[in-house]
Every structure is written in structure tokens, then in C-alpha cells.
Homo-oligomer: A and B are copies of this chain.
Amino acid sequence: MEVETLKRLALLGAMKKDVTLSSSTFASLIGSSPQTALERLSVLEEEGYIERVVSNEGQRVRITHEGVLRLKAEYRDYQKIFGELQVVRIKGKVASGLGEGQYYISREGYMRQFSEKLGFDPSPGTLNLLLDEPFALSESDFKSVRIEGFEDEGRTFGACWCRLAKIDGIKGAIVRPERTSRTATLLELIAPVNLRRSLSLSDGDEVDVILE
């Protein structure tokens, strides 16, 4: 609630200059009684979000630096929600892979590109996550990075798409072969460390993956 009234003050311009208020005018603005309007301001002052000079003719209010920070934090939340700072959160359960991951990931042709395009050298092997609902790693997404396919020892290694992500807080990436159904519910993760060991994971454990 305190953020709400702080926001109202900011909309009145109290972030840039002193604003003169009376209990009743502010009350009608926030839709409350003069008493609560006054109380709200008093609380904001106690929390250090505003400074006021009260007199018998009303009060002059100004938002403090701390108050501005509080509002900015709130603003950032909404930026996250709408676009600019988009965050996507995926939940999944640890699944044991086929052991293939390690073989593929470790190929020199992939490794060099991971290092270049993702900014880290992956620990060998992948962590497999089984998702509740399919996640589409859109290729048009400018945050996704393409890892080129190549040939090695007569075998063909396909291209794949990567996307930096945080796995339970650890910086890593999603890896997905280019030729996969868009609605795959299996997510393969790589990271500079061995995720299964670092996070002490067993099959079936829940893991949070965050893309921003």
C-alpha cells in the first residue's frame, strides 16, 4: 500500500520539487479520509521515503532518494513484465539422459563455438529437464544463438540453437538441435560447471530455468 501512495506523490511531481498538500485534497486524490491520508504520509516519512514540513496550513512533501529507489524498483518489475526486460521462467524435472550429451557436447567443433558465442566453456555433458509443458525456443528470437553444424571423422553433427539462461541461479545455456519439433518437452542444459553435481540434483528434482 505504501508504494501506491508514494506513486501518487510522484505523479504529483514530488520527485522533482516540493509539493504542497492538504490532508483533504490528498485524501480525495487517493480516495480516503483526511485522517488516513495523513497517516499514510506519516508512515512514508517514518520509512524514510519522503520528507515533509508540516504546518497548520498543510504540508510540503518531497520524495527522498530512498523513495525514488523504491519507485524505480517497482518500475523495473513492470519493465520485466512488459518487454524491455522480459523474463521467462521454465520449470522442469531432472531426467536421466541417454549419456549421449557428453559425446556431442565435447566435440571440438561444438566446443569452440560455445566458447565464442556463449562466453563459457561447457562442462562435458548435458542436464536433461522434462518440462510440464513444451517450450518453444524461437529461432527468430534475437537472443538465441545458432551453433553451426559440421563434419568430423566422417560423421555429421547438426546445427543447434542456444540461449543463455540461469539454471537455479547458475549461469548456463539451453541447447536444442535445430531439427527438433518446436513443441519438445525435453530441455538440454549446459553450463561451465557440472550442473547435476553443483546443484546436488537427482532424477525427478525440480529445477528453475530463467531466460532474460
Interface residues of A (CB under 8 A from B): 1, 3-4, 7, 10-13, 15-18, 20, 71-72, 74-75, 77-82, 87-89, 91, 132-133
Q: A7-B78, A13-B88 are in contact. List 12 more A-B contacts (CB 8 A).
A: A1-B1, A7-B81, A11-B87, A13-B89, A16-B88, A18-B133, A20-B91, A71-B78, A71-B82, A74-B78, A75-B82, A78-B78
Closest CB in chain B relative to A51 CB, distance in Å: 16
Chain B CB count within 10 A is highest, among A71, A77, A81, A133, for A81
> Do B72 and A82 touch across chains, with their CB atoms under 8 A apart?
yes
Cβ 8 A contact of A75, one of B20, B81, B89, B91: B81
Cβ 8 A contact of A80, one of B11, B74, B91: B11
With A and B bound together, what is the CA distance between A25 and B74 in angstroms?
22
